[in-house]
Amino acid sequence: MTGAGDALDQQLWDFVYLYDAAYDRAARAAGLSAAQACLLDALTRGGRSMGELADELLCDASNVTQLVTRLEAGGLVSRIPDPDDRRVRHVSITPAGRRVRRAVGRAFDFPSGRLGRLTEEERLQLSGLMAKLLAPDTSPSS
């Protein structure tokens, strides 16, 4: 349909496929599922409460409950009730969780391995293109 663009479409598909597979392997090597690794990663960024995590991971709140329950059982995160609003539970990563997260990062060879093939200039090029692709959507919503 897109004519000459098909080759690029295929390349992006392959890229994402490889990336996902590499991440899954890395997580599994550290004893986690990809979803668990994602949650652990989200914790080091913005999300803190269960609800925020659900928003960030684009999934149901009850799914987060289960993920956190399993991670908590493994001692990687802990639930901390919010003193100001006792409905809210903050999730915080434990030292063990931080260690495992770093292990995932180390095992995730995609960036280091593949990206290492590019020159500094090419990386800048790629970064520029990504910035353009990732810019917030400007299409009408609601």
Partner DNA sequence: CACGACTCCTTGAGGAACTCAAGTAGTGTC
Partner DNA sequence: GACACTACTTGAGTTCCTCAAGGAGTCGTG
* Contact residues for a copy of itself, defined by CB under 8 A: 1-2, 5, 7-9, 11-12, 14-16, 18-21, 58, 105, 111-115, 117-118, 122-123, 125-127, 129-135, 137, 139
Which tokens in the block code for residue 35? 């979803």
Query: Nearer to a copy of itself by C-beta: 12 or 96?
Result: 12
Site for DNA, residues 63 to 82, rule: CB under 7 A? 63-70, 79
Q: What own/partner pairs with CB < 8 Å and gap ≥ 24 does 114-123 have?
A: 114/18
Query: Nearer to a copy of itself by C-beta: 11 or 69?
Result: 11
Which tokens in the block code for residue 80? 């901390």
Binds 142: which of a copy of itself, DNA, none (CB < 5-8 Å by kind): none
Binds 55: which of DNA, a copy of itself, none (CB < 5-8 Å by kind): none
Which tokens in the block code for residue 90? 């903050």
Query: Nearer to a copy of itself by C-beta: 11 or 33?
Result: 11
From the list 5-13, 48-56, 98-106, 116-124, the region that binds DNA by CB under 7 A is: 48-56
Contacts of 142 (CB under 8 A, 6+ apart): none
Q: In 3D, which of 15, 48, 24, 18 has the Cα closest to residue 104? A: 24
Is 89 within 8 Å of 107 (Cβ atoms)? no
